[in-house]
Structure 1
């Protein structure tokens, strides 16, 4: 199976929408409290905007036999401000989607390798893959691609009372 990785262009918008919505449906099955299926028109507008603007988001797609079967988004983050205590490093978030029938065949790995190269060319020195705990498959995938724990992200909804002590 030959996998072609290339930059997405405006002609790929419908494929990107399909990938995003398919991925959302799968995530809703994991945890409907965390995930949702966004409005398809909003997703279309997002990709049209991203592909026509100054690139703060890089999108690469994977094709197999002429069919778009996956994508990776690399979202460039703002550089740390001078007053912060962490060392300034150019960072980006990475989000990978591969259609179900093509998982486990090297598509995701090829996308991540290409994303790493594209990010490095833009001066990125660290990639983050934010994954909510219920998505164990994503944790396994990114771990196998060399991503490791980098701290802990805690969250709380304002106004929601604390649970009673155990």
Structure 2
């Protein structure tokens, strides 16, 4: 079936909300300490704001037979400030979501190709795909598209959450 990738429109907000919530539920199953399912209203508001005006976020959707079955957000990052040692290189983060039942059919690849073009068209020289918990499917997907490890992101909890209940 043909896959149409296009810029998201305001009419797509309900589908975008469903995609974000489905993605959140999938990630909570991977690691309920790192991930959460956000409030529906907050998700709706985010997409409405992004699609309403100038934003550093580009949202593309994938349609199959008129149904939105995937999306990718391209988040343009600010150049490092002059006082930092990183060479200034425009970069973008990408976040890809494809509904169950449509994975493995080229939807993610089509979204990723379009996202890379959108990032390049915005001047980004590098695209990042952050994967913050063991997610073999995501690593396999991005690796098959030519993404490679770039450095190491280390983290440590500060203990500020020690009094809070954990899921």
- 1:15 and 1:159 map into 2 onto residues whose CA distance is 37
| Superposed displacement of residue 61, structure 1 | 0.2
- Say if 2:129 is the partner of 1:137: no
1:117 and 2:117 matched: yes
Asked if 1 retains the 8 angstrom alpha-carbon contact of 2:71 and 2:96, the reply is yes
Residue 69 of structure 2 corresponds to 69
- State the superposition RMSD in angstroms: 0.9
d(CA) in 2 for partners of 1:122, 1:33 = 34
CA distance in 2, matches of 1:67, 1:22: 15
Does the alignment pair 1:82 with 2:90? no
TM-score, length-scaled by structure 2: 0.93
Q: How does 1:6-155 map to 2 (within 5 A)?
A: 6-155=6-155
Q: How many residues align?
A: 160
* Of 82-91 and 15-24, the range deviating more from structure 2: 82-91
| Distance in 2 between residues matched to 1:120 and 1:134, nearest whole Å | 28
Q: CA deviation at 1:136?
A: 1.3
Native 8 Å contact 2:30 2:133 kept in 1: no
Offset, 1:82: 1.5
Distance (Å, rounded) in 2 between the aligned partners of 1:55 and 1:120: 16
Structure 2 unaligned residues grouped into runs of 5+: 161-167
Structure 1 regions of 5+ residues with no counterpart?
161-166
Measured after TM superposition, the shift of residue 86 of structure 1 is: 1.5
Q: CA offsets per residue over residues 82-141 of structure 1, 9 Å max, x none?
A: 222121100010000000100000000000000011111110000010002321110110
